[in-house]
């Protein structure tokens, strides 16, 4: 218990210092958490910190929208959506998604996920060629120095790449001619430099 309380105190202090220059709701939550902690109200302090952490994750999710490419010629793009998921979805990770459509009803979805156990699972799969034998799980490819998995069937395809072993980039296409090539073309247009910067 003492170790847990000490950990909360350190976390609150670090967050308070890091947010000192920010006059926003998150810094207010952290200050309130510190106030509760100093008053001995540990449960309330934890609640304030957890709420602030959830807000920080949402900010991170929203910022990931910067990495998505503009719609290529012949396509339209929807507004990107950021989500700081709970425990059930994406294993509690942070994600952002953008959808694209063309005049032939073709669809492409680009999604990035970070801070999720799913990433570790994919990394284990990409590191185990035995798991991919037979081609049912897709084929291994290289994507700008990163390991990736490509699956396609008829007018559908899915491309998954592990960026710096910490971020999952996923591109899905449906009702699209040459779907395997389309998902790779869309993946090529993602701003990987910005993605790495935002997920350091």
CA angle 111, 19, 87 (to 5 degrees): 40
147-177 confidence digits (pLDDT tens): 899 999 999 999 999 998 889 999 999 999 9
CA end-to-end distance (rounded Å), the chain: 31
Name the H helices within the chain. 2-18, 25-38, 42-63, 117-126, 179-188, 192-198
Work out the average pLDDT over 16-29: 61
What is the rounded average pLDDT for all residues in the chain?
Answer: 82
Q: Is a pLDDT exceeding 90 seen at residue 79?
A: yes
Q: What is the pTM of this model?
A: 0.74
Q: Is a pLDDT exceeding 60 seen at residue 11?
A: no
Work out the average pLDDT over 51-77: 88
Of 117, 127, 126, 130, nearest to 151 (Cα)? 126
Q: Where are the domains of the chain?
A: 2-62, 68-198
Please give the structure tokens belonging to residue 170: 């996923």
Q: Is 68-198 a CATH 3.30.200.100 domain?
A: yes
What confidence score (pLDDT) does residue 120 get? Answer: 80
Q: Which of 7-16, 110-119, 134-143, 146-155 has the lowest mean pLDDT?
A: 7-16
């Amino acid at each position: 218990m003492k170790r847990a309380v000490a950990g909360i105190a350190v976390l609150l202090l670090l967050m308070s210092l890091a947010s000192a220059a920010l006059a926003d709701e998150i810094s207010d939550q952290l200050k309130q958490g510190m106030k509760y902690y100093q008053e001995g109200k540990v449960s309330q302090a934890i609640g304030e910190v957890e709420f602030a952490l959830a807000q920080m994750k949402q900010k991170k999710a929203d910022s990931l929208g910067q990495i998505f490419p503009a719609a290529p010629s012949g396509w339209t793009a929807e507004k990107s959506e950021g989500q700081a998921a709970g425990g059930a979805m994406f294993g509690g990770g942070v994600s952002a998604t953008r959808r694209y459509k063309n005049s032939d009803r073709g669809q492409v979805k680009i999604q990035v996920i970070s801070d999720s156990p799913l990433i570790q699972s994919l990394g284990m799969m990409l590191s185990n060629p035995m798991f991919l034998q037979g081609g049912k799980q897709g084929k291994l490819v290289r994507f700008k120095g990163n390991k990736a998995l490509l699956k396609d069937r008829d007018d559908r395809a899915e491309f998954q790449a592990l960026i710096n072993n910490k971020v999952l980039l996923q591109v899905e296409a449906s009702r699209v001619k040459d779907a395997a090539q389309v998902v790779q073309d869309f993946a090529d247009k993602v701003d990987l430099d910005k993605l790495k910067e935002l997920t350091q």
